[in-house]
Amino acid sequence: MLFREQIVTERLPRHIAVIMDGNGRWATSRGLERQAGHIEGAKAVRRSRRRPWKPASVI
């Protein structure tokens, strides 16, 4: 049996929140400007929205 067939869709969350924290620290720890971290964080959220789950809130 495939993993996908084992998922009980009624038990999946309807809403997922993504808390954007640490992007500026991530960038500065790599010698980049803080803004670069915010840009990369936004890209990560866009990539995650292509997955089967759809985060509804980005904080």
Q: In terms of residue numbers, what domain contains 16?
A: 3-58
Q: Position 9: which residue type?
A: T
Each residue's pLDDT tens digit, 6-58: 888 788 777 778 888 999 999 999 999 999 999 999 998 888 777 666 656 77
The domain total for the chain is 1
Instruction: Return the pLDDT at 39.
Output: 95
Each residue's pLDDT tens digit, 34-46: 999 999 999 988 8
Find, among 14, 38, 16, the residue nearest to 26 by Cα. Answer: 38
Q: How far apart are CA 15 and CA 20, in angstroms?
A: 16
Judge whether 20 and 11 are in contact, CB under 8 Å: no
Q: How far apart are CA 9 and CA 42, in angstroms?
A: 28
Neighbours of 10 (CB within 10 A): 5
